[in-house]
């Protein structure tokens, strides 16, 4: 799965997630086995990210230059 996902449903967490925003997904096979994803959300206070249902996101492929820039900055973008 891609390192980045886009929020497609924020109804249960509108303060933490912005619809249409790209978020950095942190690999976590254990939680992904339960259809959850670990992402860095708007709070950004938890370096290990927060867990959300995978159905709230769609994986996206970014151009390599964009992916490198986002990983280097370690931030989410809109």
Tens-place pLDDT, residues 19-53: 999 999 999 999 999 999 999 888 777 778 899 99
Q: How many CA atoms lie within 13 A of 52 on its CB side?
A: 27
The answer to whether residue 47 sits within a structural domain is yes
Q: Domain for residue 69, yes or no?
A: no
Question: Band of the pLDDT at 75, cuts 50, 70, 90?
Answer: low
Q: Is the per-residue pLDDT at 74 higher than 90?
A: no
Question: Is residue 49 domain-resident?
Answer: yes
Question: Does residue 23 belong to any structural domain of this protein?
Answer: yes
pLDDT of residue 45: 75
Residues 41 and 16: beta-carbon distance below 8 Å:
yes
20, part of any domain: yes
Instruction: Work out the average pLDDT over 61-66.
Output: 92
In a domain, 39, yes or no: yes
Task: Work out how many domains the chain is built from and give that number.
Answer: 1
| Range(s) of the domain holding residue 53 | 4-57
76 lies in a domain?
no
């Amino acid at each position: 799965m891609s390192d980045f996902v886009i929020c497609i449903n924020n109804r249960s967490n509108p303060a933490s997630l912005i619809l249409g925003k790209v978020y950095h997904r942190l690999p976590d096979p254990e939680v992904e086995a339960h259809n959850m994803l670990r992402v860095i959300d708007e709070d950004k206070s938890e370096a290990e990210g927060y867990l959300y249902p995978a159905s709230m996101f769609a994986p996206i492929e970014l151009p390599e230059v964009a992916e490198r820039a986002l990983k280097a900055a370690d931030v989410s973008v809109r």
